Structure 1
Amino acid sequence: MTVKRTLLGTAAGVGLVAGSAAVAVAEEITVATVNNADMIIMQELSSQWEEETGNTINWVVLEENILRQRVTTDIATGGGQYDIMTIGSYEAPIWGKQDWLEPLDGIEGYDYDDLIPAVRAGLSVDDTLYALPFYAESSFTMYRTDLFEEAGLEMPDQPTYEEIMSYAEQLSDKENELYGICLRGKPGWGENMAFFGTLVNTHGGRWFDMEWNPTLDQEPWANALDYYLEIMNNYGPPGAASNGFNENQALFQTGKCAMWIDATSAAGRVFNPEESQVADDVGFTAAPVAEVDKGNAWFWAWSLAIPASSQKIDVAKDFMAWATSEEYVNLVGEEKGWVAVPPGTRASTYENENYVEAAPFAETVLNSIQAADPADATAEPVPYTGIQYVAIPEFQGIGTLVGQNISAALTGQMSPEDALARSQQATQREIDRAGYAE
């Protein structure tokens, strides 16, 4: 498929203008992105944009934790290494408020009204958009329907974590490399803490009380950690502390996991018979709940943003407008299969009969994204917004350190009590240093 486009503006490097011959000098932009499957497709298909415009892209594709470290350092120092950064709904409003990102309202011809309102709001500050969403996600439960049927089990529409533990026990067969459950264990605020944060929420916990006192030494955190260690150590795969999203996806696709609780964006991979060995035997349902039914499913949007330090803003905007457009979604559908299109960002995706027919999970994913409420994710009141993260600049460091302690507890290098005690102390120290409680 060829996407017909009219490029915007006549700045140097913007290859063609409607009704004209080639213009000016081609530019090279540097794009930093994560090594998730959707971004790998974007990298592959970007050759079409390069051919249309005459511009080129220098790709920097990194593992999730490393990407976050690199782009955070670059944006905070004004390093100028990247013209486009792949960031999320955590960074976009914080960095936008600090004037570290180029505002993205007013791109001529861009269909802003098609963006799902909750996603657009999550990337904005005072109604100014600071990142264009590439794909958005919540979290849900994926499971092997064939294994459930063989065991005489039935997954409910809203499972509890108690039920998940029982299913994991009944379905685990480690001698044959079948694990009852796969969950994130790799340390990182956006890796193991993405899942663990929701587990804390639904156990009735929160990161801070209304006076910004950390609560990691309280019962809900202990209960969540005890549950996590029990189910992972008894029914999870070996070496789980090294497994993040990509690693667990590979395990599930190759038939190693009976259940996997993770991002809704994984659906396009596990239901794709060209990528998944279990594509015909996958079911899906809501993320489990424990003590309360709040904050059990996260919200996230991988997005493209332009650091204020970029010297190639016009070209960067043109590529971003192309890569996050309805036309790009259609291009992926026709080139890679409709089940593989980037989900969760545009209403038109869910009105596209080709996608809805190919993606049985479409309605569930859309409902999960729309139901996730970062302003109301905990049983007790909190002074912050966010579901699996706290929307303050300090959380990136706090969440990473706590994730390392949780991972150390998983590997047995630290007791659960020590993991939470050290996490509480470190969090208190960072909050005191930042002056939140003053």
Structure 2
Amino acid sequence: MRTPSRRRPRAIAAAAAGTLLAPLLSGCWTGAGGAGSGGDAINVLMVNNPQMVELQKLTRAHFTAETGIKVNFTVLPENDVRDKISQDFANQAGQYDVATLSNYEIPIYARNGWLRAMDDYVAEDRDFDEQDILAPMRQSLTGDDGKTYGQPFYGESSFLMYRKDVFEEQGLTMPERPTWQQVADLAAQADGAEGDMKGICLRGLPGWGEVMAPLTTVVNTFGGTWFDQDWTARLDSPEFEKATKFYVDLVRSHGESGAAQAGFAECLNNMTQGKVAMWYDATSAAGSLEADKSPVKGKIGYVPAPVERTESSGWLYTWAWGIQNASRNTDKAWEFVSWASSKEYEELVGEEFGWSNVPAGKRASTYQNPAYREEAAAFQEMTREAIEAARPTDPGVQPRPAPGIQFVGIPEFTDLGTKVALEISAAVAGRQSVETALDKSQELAEQVSEEYEGR
């Protein structure tokens, strides 16, 4: 539980008497439409994932009661929230003081002058302890000028999850640090182990943040890259083609049914319901797999993201808080951001909802907390190791012109990645060959190359 001394005292009685729209279910929105921010109110625009919904539930009774700052939330699905954020922040409309942004957007938004640097606030807020934030997370939320433009709500990398009980029954052994070829061999042997169980689940759903996220990590470790150091598009390289063909062949031969329409949520369901023996995806999935009511709780093993030519291949991602430069309430916005990213907030979630629900993956102290370590024992150490091993500026075997592991850190990637994903997903569905998909994708990437070559 947070202690009142953490914040500047305000009129708590008045705050308790004030109004705050009740948190709504995931996918709905509340708050910012009519009343703008100002005075003792701020507007927050955020993605509708479960941990954010929990934040809504806790804000009024804790943050608002303690500080007197009313928070109007607008909560939308990921694609919708990205569109709304980009519109408001690009225009510097100032309707929203705070928004959830990832480590993909924050450096780009900072470069465009859309975000308020947080360094002065961090320097004055001694209780926030920014040095406790894991180094890869801090670095990924830093602008070209070296200033901090975001604070993480939670962080993740990627790893391989597998059914320990199924492997034991089948006499299979998972290496401590598997290669992708070893994973493919194990998928073939685990296929059909229990009824209709498939060997592995891999995303095939179109989207730069869906199929392209895990596939790009495979490309990296196979020696490929989207662009070389001179911005030459390399989707037609032997390494990129080998990695993509491997991924598509694996999911088509031993992957989940309906793979071309399977994303994170579908693979989570498949793993939870015992339909697949392995799953390569986000470390954040482990909390759901190990939840009290999960039918596979205690049955899952976790190992690092598979590799081929690199030492590690896990991605790096965070949903973080950014403050709009045009906000009229940046001081109060920081109070909210620092609360929502703090150690004390994690403790509050642990007390209210259980430690497996804590928005982890961002602070070193989380992994030293005995309560968290006990409840998340199955995956917490592997998650931290994956995050700390992530190499966003050097994820492959060659120099890169822009940072990013599962994405390319340029504004054009949202459009390029989405278009390429449609081609790859069509190959997963069997509607075209990998070669055809990459020929089309190379042409798309070359259009981006023309914009960057010579820079």
Q: TM-score, normalised by structure 2?
A: 0.87
Aligned partners of 1:71 and 1:85 also within 8 Å: yes
The residue aligned with 1:96 is 110
Residue 294 (structure 1) shift: 4.7
**2:271 aligned to 245, 249, 252, which one?**
252
Find the aligned partners of 1:423 and 1:64 in 2 and give their Cα distance. 24
Find the aligned partners of 1:82 and 1:415 in 2 and give their Cα distance. 45
Residue 334 (structure 1) shift: 1.3
Aligned partners of 2:10 and 2:66 also within 8 Å: no
The residue aligned with 1:84 is 98
Find the aligned partners of 2:105 and 2:312 in 1 and give their Cα distance. 20
The amino acid that maps onto 1:38 is: Q
Residue 295 (structure 1) shift: 5.5
The amino acid that maps onto 1:84 is: V
Find the aligned partners of 2:114 and 2:164 in 1 and give their Cα distance. 47
Residue 116 (structure 1) shift: 1.6
Counterparts in 2 of 1:401 and 1:70: CA distance versus 1, 3 Å:
farther
Residue pairs, 1:19-98, within 5 angstroms: 22=14, 27-48=40-61, 49-98=63-112
Find the aligned partners of 2:3 and 2:339 in 1 and give their Cα distance. 9
**1:160 aligned to 172, 179, 187, which one?**
179
Aligned partners of 2:204 and 2:210 also within 8 Å: yes
**1:315 aligned to 319, 332, 348, which one?**
332
Secondary structure of the residue aligned to 2:281 is strand
Residue 68 (structure 1) shift: 2.5
The amino acid that maps onto 2:393 is: A
Counterparts in 2 of 1:307 and 1:382: CA distance versus 1, 3 Å:
same
Counterparts in 2 of 1:68 and 1:294: CA distance versus 1, 3 Å:
farther
Counterparts in 2 of 1:117 and 1:381: CA distance versus 1, 3 Å:
closer
**1:403 aligned to 400, 421, 435, which one?**
421
Find the aligned partners of 2:256 and 2:193 in 1 and give their Cα distance. 8
Which 10-residue stretch deviates more, 93-102 or 245-254? Answer: 245-254
Residue 352 (structure 1) shift: 0.8
Which 10-residue stretch deviates more, 244-253 or 321-330? Answer: 244-253
Counterparts in 2 of 1:381 and 1:263: CA distance versus 1, 3 Å:
same
Aligned partners of 1:142 and 1:259 also within 8 Å: yes
Runs (4 or more) in structure 1 with deviation over 4 Å come to 20-28
The residue aligned with 1:217 is 236
Counterparts in 2 of 1:436 and 1:100: CA distance versus 1, 3 Å:
farther
**1:383 aligned to 358, 379, 401, which one?**
401
Residue 5 (structure 1) shift: 4.7
Find the aligned partners of 1:385 and 1:377 in 2 and give their Cα distance. 9
Identity %: 42
Counterparts in 2 of 1:242 and 1:307: CA distance versus 1, 3 Å:
farther
Residue 3 (structure 1) shift: 4.6
How many pairs does the alignment contain? 427
Aligned partners of 2:393 and 2:400 also within 8 Å: no
**1:238 aligned to 248, 257, 265, which one?**
257
Residue 142 (structure 1) shift: 0.7
The residue aligned with 1:372 is 390
Aligned partners of 2:2 and 2:344 also within 8 Å: no
The amino acid that maps onto 2:113 is: D
Counterparts in 2 of 1:60 and 1:410: CA distance versus 1, 3 Å:
farther
Find the aligned partners of 2:40 and 2:271 in 1 and give their Cα distance. 41
Find the aligned partners of 1:26 and 1:51 in 2 and give their Cα distance. 16
The residue aligned with 1:178 is 197
| RMSD (Å) for aligned C-alpha atoms | 2.3
Which 10-residue stretch deviates more, 226-235 or 406-415? Answer: 406-415
Find the aligned partners of 1:141 and 1:128 in 2 and give their Cα distance. 34
Find the aligned partners of 1:77 and 1:61 in 2 and give their Cα distance. 20
Residue 300 (structure 1) shift: 1.3
Q: TM-score, normalised by structure 1?
A: 0.90
Residue pairs, 1:106-121, within 5 angstroms: 106-107=120-121, 108=125, 109-121=127-139
**1:419 aligned to 417, 423, 437, which one?**
437
Aligned partners of 1:294 and 1:378 also within 8 Å: no
The residue aligned with 1:11 is none
Secondary structure of the residue aligned to 1:228 is helix
The residue aligned with 1:325 is 342
Residue 428 (structure 1) shift: 0.9
Find the aligned partners of 1:295 and 1:288 in 2 and give their Cα distance. 8
Find the aligned partners of 1:179 and 1:372 in 2 and give their Cα distance. 29
Residue 123 (structure 1) shift: 0.5
| Cα-to-partner distance string for 1:257-309 (whole Å, 9 max, x where unaligned) | 211111112222211223x210120110011113x025521111210111223
